[in-house]
Amino acid sequence: MTSPILITGAGQRIGLAIAHHLLRQGHDLILSYRTQHAEIQELESLGAICIQANFIDNASIDHFINQIKQHTSCLRGIIHNASSWDCEKNNPDFASLFDDMMRIHAKVPYLINLACSKLLTVTPDKTDIVHLTDYVVETGSPKHIAYAASKAALDNMTKSFASKLAPQVKVNAIAPSLIIFNQNDDEEYKAKTLKKSLMEIEPGSKEILNCLDMLLSSSYITGRTIQVDGGRHLK
């Protein structure tokens, strides 16, 4: 395995699409996933190293980092996609909700970036860290307060790590809004949600993949957040 890319949260949706996209480009991959299923087995058959990780506490995060270092001595990049989407209405244990959101969206990337920074700098080539954040970083969210705050923390870390790891490691963020509907979303919800953007479409994962390709191929862009929101900020 030569200079793999690490992807957290690669078991479904955007993370899964990123994994297949990078495999098609010939990259070696180390992936984290939460639950074993057929898609993970397919990724393994294609050569990806898939590590089960739930990131429930510091010990589980440290264990995941140690497993990464057992598989490789260098990394081409790190893509932080692991995420959890919960709201105050559905979880009245606000302290637990806040801790959960901050752990998965801020603590996990923070600890992985620090622990694996040397793996990104052992070769002379430019390497990358990409954080998947959310368009609510700019707007906030009255229904998902802890979630929005944790994604804002990750967005801020993009700037801090870009400064810390330059010039060899570029650190950027991608902030999507609606990209792919969930299977259980009804037609009324879909119509209402599409009207929230200027483009009024469900763009699909290709928009994230195109943005990711641009960031990974750039030799100059760092410390930036790329908004992939269809113009929601103008509505």
Q: Which of 3.60.15.10, 3.40.50.720, 3.30.70.990, 3.90.76.10 is the CATH number of 5-234?
A: 3.40.50.720
**Chain segment 174-206, per-residue pLDDT in tens:** 999 999 998 888 899 999 999 999 999 999 999
Total-model pTM: 0.96
Kindly give the residue spans of alpha helices, DSSP state H, lying in 103-225. 108-116, 136-139, 145-165, 187-194, 206-217
Of 33, 135, 147, 220, the catalytic one is: 147
Kindly state the average pLDDT of the residues 119-123: 94
**Chain segment 126-167, per-residue pLDDT in tens:** 999 999 999 999 999 999 999 999 999 999 999 999 999 999
Cα 223 from Cα 7, distance rounded (Å): 19
Residue 31 DSSP code: E
Contacts of 103 (CB under 8 A, 6+ apart): 55
Q: Break the chain into its structural domains and give their ranges.
A: 5-234
What is the pLDDT, as a whole number, of residue 88?
Answer: 85
Beta bridge partners of 176: 228
Kindly give the residue spans of alpha helices, DSSP state H, lying in the chain. 13-24, 38-45, 58-71, 94-102, 108-116, 136-139, 145-165, 187-194, 206-217
Give yes or no for a cis peptide into 167 (omega within 30° of 0).
yes
Instruction: For the beta carbon of residue 104, count every other beta carbon within 10 angstroms.
Output: 24
Which sign does the torsion angle of CA 157, 130, 174, 91 carry? Answer: negative
Asked if 162 and 222 count as a contact pair (C-beta separation under 8 A), the reply is: yes
- Tell me what percent of the residues of the chain surpass a pLDDT of 90: 91
The residue assigned the tokens 């990806």 is: 48
- For the question of residue 147 being annotated catalytic, the response is yes
What is the pLDDT, as a whole number, of residue 218?
Answer: 98
Residue type, 145: I
What is the pLDDT, as a whole number, of residue 165?
Answer: 98
Contacts of 174 (CB under 8 A, 6+ apart): 130, 131, 132, 133, 208, 211, 212, 215, 225, 226, 228
Whole-number mean pLDDT of the chain?
A: 96
Q: How far is CA 152 from CA 67, 92, 147, 148, 185, in A?
A: 28, 22, 9, 6, 26
